[in-house]
Amino acid sequence: MPVDKAMADSILGTFRKMFQELEDKGAEGESFQVMRETMDRMEKLALETNDVSEFTAKLTTENLFMDFSNAYTETMTALVKGEYSGDGGDELLMEKTIEAYEHAIENLKGNPHYEKLKAPLEELIEVGKSGVSYPVFLRIAEEQGLNQTLQGDMVVRDAILSEKLFCEFMHLPLEVEKHEKILKMHDQLASQTPFNVVDSFQFGLERQKIEWKYTPLINRWHIISRLWEKMIENVYDWLDSFGSFAPRDERWMSRRGITYTMHNIKRTQECNPGILKAREKVFMEYFQMSWDDIFDHETFLTAYDAKQIWYSDQTLELIKKAHPYCKPFTKPEPDLIREAEEIYATQSYKRPDAFQYSEEDKEKFIALFGEDKWNEYFGRQ
Amino acid sequence: MDQRQQEYVEYYQSRLKKFENNPLYANSYQSEKALYEAIANSTDLEEFGQKVESENLAVKNAIALVKDQETARKKFYEELKEEIKLHAPLRILDAVDSVKTDLELIKMVNDIESEVNIEIIVDLFTQEIYNDLMMLEEIEVYQSAEVPDEWKKEINHERPQEMINDGIKDWNESFVPNARNWDPNWQYNASLIWEERHRRIIPIPDEILKKRITQFKTYRGI
């Protein structure tokens, strides 16, 4: 079965367009033939491979992307040399350069950063058409940093800002910190250049280094969070399983009847303490942390402030009180069970604003994706 | 020197200034300087054109830029102990002086990058143990949970065994075929986990990681 057509189109679209453009220009020769053969092979693989991962792997391991790209460069070079081989000299070079920039602006249409990306191109066209000679045009482009601006640095900076804002929206403090450092590095490098435009190569290395430093810290954060989430849930379910409401709760109810439901309840009552103990051992072995460390830990406090904790404050307090009793082969105190029943009866187990976005979150989301997207996803909130 | 040549001299001077006092671009500064001197010391543009061609100055300039950037990348990956990513700058630096044309240079760099990208993808399969950590924890939790005798079979044996069966099935039906799309002879090499680039992303003590590796082999049927 071939790869999904939409996926194949999105992967091959650019290559098809590049091939078509050169074919329309009447390209020929050995390198163009390589482009044609490579394109044909890519199209064939889209029909022969079973899924997108196999397709991508084949395109890469058969070196088709690179073969195409190398042949494209060679064909383009030959075409350009042909166009420039006349007697037009600098005047022709200027004309062709302006033409290329105008063509680039056309190609940018539809790009979300169109306005920003076209600005330096327009500036270059303006200089080119101002009546200066070709070498003066080249010098101005160099001295005013226009060539470097063409690398799209302002879009790169915007993208970092957007990523940072998204991490703020998602309440991921380490990711926010990482993006702040990347931004700081960007601006620091830019400030060292005459036109405040960063050297994209140098910045790329510095950026990788910051990301490299944060990866283990972010992983640690995620593991700690997922461990305490399960530990809290173990105690919560364990205490509730003793409540009179348990047979009616979906956590234990079985479609096969009350016998199975009661069996499920018994399992939670008798096994959760042992499971919790094993989880606490993992928590200690990994991070030398215990149950008591959870509620003051930055991972928990962040989740709490971000309203990412499902339990109400009252339930959390009850879970903390129940924890000392949640040991293998023991049961909770009757008072604790009573309190759990009261919470259940009043449906106050869930934090009222759990997983709701604040006004600040809303503003961040709208800044990133627009009001329509907010209404589409969260309009009912 | 006519006005047009003087304008070109100024243009090459502006290019030279871009790399001045930047240690990252030491080779580029020298090659730009050679271009600048060639035009400044030529009697006319024709002579300059001949010098560029006979001394291959434009290609040498492109080579210099590649050398500068790859030298920086080499140092960078050495510092980070990124052994596989390091292959690209090492191989490019090894080959860069043998190229004769700009097209050869582009092809050489592209081919090496492509080759090393595959090595990087294959190497990253080592990190599957990190993705499996949660399942390995669950297996250990269920296997070791203290439960009454009547639950031991279900909790300590059947449930973890189901997880292991699913892990082996997924490994054989999905993970390995995907990895072999990239390298037909691919085999999981657990010893790579201890190499700095992989070890550093798993933030747990060595002793515990050893235990997880043993578990991982069972979980994936390796």
What b/e string do you get for A62-92 counting C-beta neighbours within 10 Å, with b at 16 or more?
A: ebbbbbbbbbbbbbbebbeeeeeeeeeebee
User: Which contacts qualify for A225-228: CB closer than 8 Å, 24 or more apart?
Assistant: A225/A299, A225/A300, A225/A303, A226/B134, A227/A279, A227/A282, A227/A283, A227/A286, A227/B137, A228/A283, A228/A294, A228/A297, A228/A299, A228/A300
Q: How many Å apart are CA B118 and CA A56, to the nearest integer?
A: 11
Of A68-77, A161-170, B128-137, B138-147, the range with the lowest mean pLDDT is A68-77
B174 inside 8 A of chain A by CB: no
pTM value is 0.89
* Residue from A85, A271, A276, A299 whose CB has the most chain B CBs within 10 Å, to mutate: A271
Does residue A209 lie within any of the structural domains? no
Over range B130-151, report the average pLDDT.
98
Q: Do A212 and B80 touch (CB under 8 A)?
A: yes
What pLDDT does residue A116 have? 86
B205 inside 8 A of chain A by CB: yes
Q: What percent of chain A has pLDDT over 90?
A: 66
Among B36, B34, B38, B55, CA closest to B47:
B38
Scan for tokens 């993808």, then name that residue: B121
Scan for tokens 């020929």, then name that residue: A28
The model's pLDDT over B179-193, given as tens digits with 9 standing for 90+, comes to: 999 999 999 999 999
Q: What one-character DSSP code corresponds to residue A329?
A: T
Same domain, A19 and A124: yes
The model's pLDDT over A122-166, given as tens digits with 9 standing for 90+, comes to: 999 999 999 999 999 999 998 888 887 888 787 889 899 999 999
Does residue A368 lie within any of the structural domains? no
Over range A211-230, report the average pLDDT.
98
A217 or A104, which is more confident? A217
Q: Please, what sign has the CA dihedral across residues A7, A11, A15, A21? A: positive
What integer best gives the mean pLDDT of chain B? 96
Over range B34-50, report the average pLDDT.
95
Same domain, A13 and A146: yes
The model's pLDDT over A172-189, given as tens digits with 9 standing for 90+, comes to: 999 999 999 999 999 999
Q: Do B148 and A277 touch (CB under 8 A)?
A: no
What pLDDT does residue A93 have? 87
Other C-beta atoms lying within 10 Å of the C-beta of residue A37 = 14
Highest mean pLDDT among A38-52, A193-207, B157-171: B157-171
Among A307, A336, A308, CA closest to A324:
A336
What pLDDT does residue A25 have? 84
Q: Is the pLDDT of residue A290 over 90?
A: yes
Same domain, A47 and A109: yes
Locate A33 and state its tokens: 């033939």
The model's pLDDT over A342-372, given as tens digits with 9 standing for 90+, comes to: 999 999 999 999 989 989 999 999 999 999 9
Q: Is the pLDDT of residue A2 over 60?
A: yes
Residue type, B83: E
Same domain, A19 and A134: yes
Domain final position from A96, A131, A151: A151
Does residue A370 lie within any of the structural domains? no
What pLDDT does residue A296 have? 97
Does residue A364 lie within any of the structural domains? no
Same domain, A68 and A168: no
For residue A311, which phi and psi values (nearest 5 degrees)? -75, 145
Same domain, A12 and A80: yes
The model's pLDDT over B68-118, given as tens digits with 9 standing for 90+, comes to: 999 999 999 999 999 999 999 999 999 999 999 999 999 999 999 999 999
What pLDDT does residue A380 have? 58
Same domain, A269 and A295: yes
Residues 6+ apart with CB under 8 A from A284: A290
Residue type, A346: T
Over range A299-317, report the average pLDDT.
97
Does residue A100 lie within any of the structural domains? yes
Q: Do B201 and A136 touch (CB under 8 A)?
A: no
Over range B118-142, report the average pLDDT.
98
For residue A97, CA distances in Å to A82, A90, A91, A126, A151 come to 15, 10, 10, 12, 16
Q: Do B141 and A135 touch (CB under 8 A)?
A: no
Same domain, A166 and A266: no
What pLDDT does residue A87 have? 58
Closest residue of B to A54, CA-based? Answer: B181
Q: Is the pLDDT of residue B67 over 80?
A: yes
Same domain, A33 and A75: yes
Over range B193-218, report the average pLDDT.
98
Over range A317-327, report the average pLDDT.
98
Does residue A60 lie within any of the structural domains? yes
Q: Is the pLDDT of residue B37 over 70?
A: yes
Number of domains composing chain A: 3
Q: How many Å apart are CA B56 and CA A257, to the nearest integer?
A: 86
What pLDDT does residue A33 have? 93
What integer best gives the mean pLDDT of chain A? 92
Over range B51-61, report the average pLDDT.
95
Same domain, A130 and A158: no
What pLDDT does residue A89 have? 81
Over range B10-32, report the average pLDDT.
94
Does residue A293 lie within any of the structural domains? yes
Partners of residue A234 in chain B, C-beta under 8 Å:
none
Of B137, B144, B201, the CB nearest to A215: B201
Give the domain range for residue A158: 154-198
Partners of residue B140 in chain A, C-beta under 8 Å:
278, 282
Q: Is the pLDDT of residue A84 over 60?
A: no
What pLDDT does residue A218 have? 98
Domain final position from A113, A135, A151: A151
What pLDDT does residue A96 have? 86
Q: Do B7 and A139 touch (CB under 8 A)?
A: yes
What pLDDT does residue A86 have? 54
For residue B117, which phi and psi values (nearest 5 degrees)? -60, -40
Q: Is the Cβ–Cβ distance between B177 and B125 less than 8 Å?
A: no
Locate B3 and state its tokens: 């006005």
Min Cα separation A237/chain B (Å): 16
Does residue A214 lie within any of the structural domains? no
Among A100, A133, A125, CA closest to B10:
A133
The model's pLDDT over A18-67, given as tens digits with 9 standing for 90+, comes to: 999 889 888 888 899 999 999 999 999 999 888 888 899 999 999 899 89
What pLDDT does residue A78 have? 83
Closest residue of B to A281, CA-based? Answer: B141
Over range A307-331, report the average pLDDT.
97
B194 inside 8 A of chain A by CB: no
Same domain, A129 and A11: yes
Same domain, A259 and A194: no
Q: What is the band of B43 on the pLDDT scale with cuts at 50, 70, 90? A: very high
Q: Is the pLDDT of residue A88 over 70?
A: no
Q: Do A270 and B148 touch (CB under 8 A)?
A: yes
